[in-house]
Amino acid sequence: MKLSPARALALAAALLPLVALGGWLVAGHDENYALQKFFFRARYGRYDGLIVASGARYGVPPSLIKAVIWRESRFHPEMLGSRGERGLMQITERAALDWARTEKIETFVPADLLDPKTNIEAGTWYLSNALRHWSGKDDPIPFALAEYNAGRTQVNRWERGSGPAEGFGAEKLRDTMDFPATRAYIRSIGERYRDFEKHGEFPPG
């Protein structure tokens, strides 16, 4: 049945809010996590077992790992970044090769990063190293996330530019960094991590 122009226009107007809602959800904005999880529950919880296992292996809170995955890929294991990053945690080939060498995985090839288990283990290993490196800071998590996003060289630059290293804490890091995208990255993951912890995303035990 052919719709009249008036009926077609009315139908389009009625569907527009639904299309907009769908686009908003798919985009995965920070403020709509609860709706994202409701509509995409299977995808958002699919990797929890792997996250818990990797967190236990490398000593990283699973809520932090999941917050990084949410921010990096919105739980899409096939995600490819603009600079060659791969998978759930958007791991670079260089970081992955360091992980494979440390873990003595001789058969590793970069394409393996599209496997969720491999990707989460490599990303958690990297995050663990960053947390350990910055463990002397008042709050190591923002430093580790800054390194994860911008690299250790940049974090060292921000530290050197702020004066004595012993007084360089998380607040000074936020004030000193000149990468707005990294500042937003840290804030976004930090908020999601605290929300996961508050609402028991991963119950103890």
pLDDT band at 121 (very low <50, low <70, confident <90, very high): very high
HEC string of 36-49 equals HHHHCHHHHHCCHH
pLDDT band at 10 (very low <50, low <70, confident <90, very high): low
Residue partners of 161: CB distance under 8 A and separation at least 6: 176
Average pLDDT, the chain: 87
Q: What confidence score (pLDDT) does residue 28 get? A: 46
pLDDT band at 41 (very low <50, low <70, confident <90, very high): confident
Q: What confidence score (pLDDT) does residue 26 get? A: 47
pLDDT band at 5 (very low <50, low <70, confident <90, very high): low
Has residue 47 got a pLDDT over 60?
yes
Tell me if residue 91 falls in helix, strand or coil. strand
Contact criterion met (CB below 8 Å) for 157 and 27 = no
Q: What confidence score (pLDDT) does residue 7 get? A: 62
Q: Is the dihedral of CA 130, 83, 75, 193 positive or negative?
A: positive
Report CA 69 to chain centroid distance, whole Å. Answer: 4
pLDDT tens profile 161-181: 877 667 899 999 999 999 999
pTM for the full model?
Answer: 0.83
pLDDT tens profile 131-148: 999 999 999 999 999 999
CA distance 157 to 151: 10
